[in-house]
Amino acid sequence: MAQTEINTLGEFGLIRHLTEQITPQQPTTVKGVGDDAAVMNYGGKRTLVTTDLLLEGVHFNLEYVPLKHLGYKAVVVNLSDIYAMNGTPTQIVVGLGISARFPVEAIDELYSGIRLACEKYGVDLVGGDTSASMTGLTISITCIGTAEEKDIVYRSGAKKNDLICVSGNLGTAYLGLQLLERERIALQGQKTGDEIDAFKGREYLLQRQLKPEARKDIIAALREAHIHPTAMMDVSDGLSSELLHICHESQCGCAVYEDKLPINYEAAKVAEEMNLNIVTCALNGGEDYELLFTCDIKDYEKLIPIEDIYIVGHITDAADGSILIGRNGEQLPLKAQGWNAFWE
């Protein structure tokens, strides 16, 4: 029988393939696979659960990623999923696979970052597991959160004429990664001090890659403005990919305007220096952990005063497809070209 290679499906295609036959059997399961977090009903507030797996050599390179930063980031990427459901993260559990090359002091450094993130976001570390690893460092974090049923935002609620909004800026984390990779290759592990000059003035890009933040502040601002998004995701795999997920789940199309994309000036300079298209970076870079959401057009006036939120397009009929409208009015199909966990 012919074998199907995993990379032909991609991460989300594989998830759909593996889970399409699964039907929840427990009455407490409100939402299973298919969103930023699962939703359970045990009475009172809804319980949200999400998990992320980080593998050395796939998701991070310890040649330039400090262990403290890695621990912090591993927590934040999970918290971001809970915020993307319009929920509040409350606890995490941590699973570690540790190879023999790591001394106790190295794991202490990793955990110092984990604790720092927990303290900053008011989340409790309540358990986990450790195991020996033959292939390097593995980190698996599961985050538990809560939300009122009426407050939860799924990917499936976008409707025609809704505004498409994003927080912060896009492509910056990707360009931070390109800087780190460029210096790693140039130096080939030989620390000379020159890498400090190469990074001078680009600290923000490095911070966006090595120590991102979850947008708890944006969720608070939306609540204060009495804006309830119709659909929401966090931008982990790239804006194009996340928008296409929302369109798929909401059975709609979208129009995004190139000149509305929020782009950091320093990121644009680095993209030009590296002969990269900054719009491509913004659409497909990934790891920004900003919030992408849609909201009713009637909330436009409420949105405008909120700092660090940008309206980048609108939702259309599914028949209109998902398109990028260029600066000269040209229309291009929006394609997911961001992070893929399975490579050729």
Residue 343 banded pLDDT, cuts 50, 70, 90: very low
Query: Own/partner pairs for 23-32, CB < 8 Å, 24+ apart?
Result: 31/154
pLDDT at 9: 64
Pairing of strands 124-132, 163-167: unpaired
H runs (alpha helix) in the chain: 10-19, 67-83, 104-121, 172-187, 194-199, 203-210, 216-224, 239-250, 265-273, 278-284, 300-303
Return the SS3 of 341. coil
pLDDT in tens, 36-86: 899 999 999 999 999 999 999 999 999 999 999 999 999 999 999 999 999
Q: Which domains does the chain have, with CATH numbers?
A: 14-20+28-149 (3.30.1330.10), 163-333 (3.90.650.10)
pLDDT in tens, 173-205: 999 999 999 988 877 756 555 555 678 889 999
- Pairwise CA distance, residues 18 & 66, whole Å: 35
Residue 336 banded pLDDT, cuts 50, 70, 90: confident
Question: 55: Cβ–Cβ under 8 A, 6 or more apart, which residues?
Answer: 135, 136, 138
Verdict on whether the full-model pTM lies above 0.95: no
Highest mean pLDDT out of 12-16, 19-23, 98-102, 118-122: 118-122
pLDDT at 319: 97
Higher per-residue confidence, 19 vs 303: 303
Higher per-residue confidence, 183 vs 117: 117
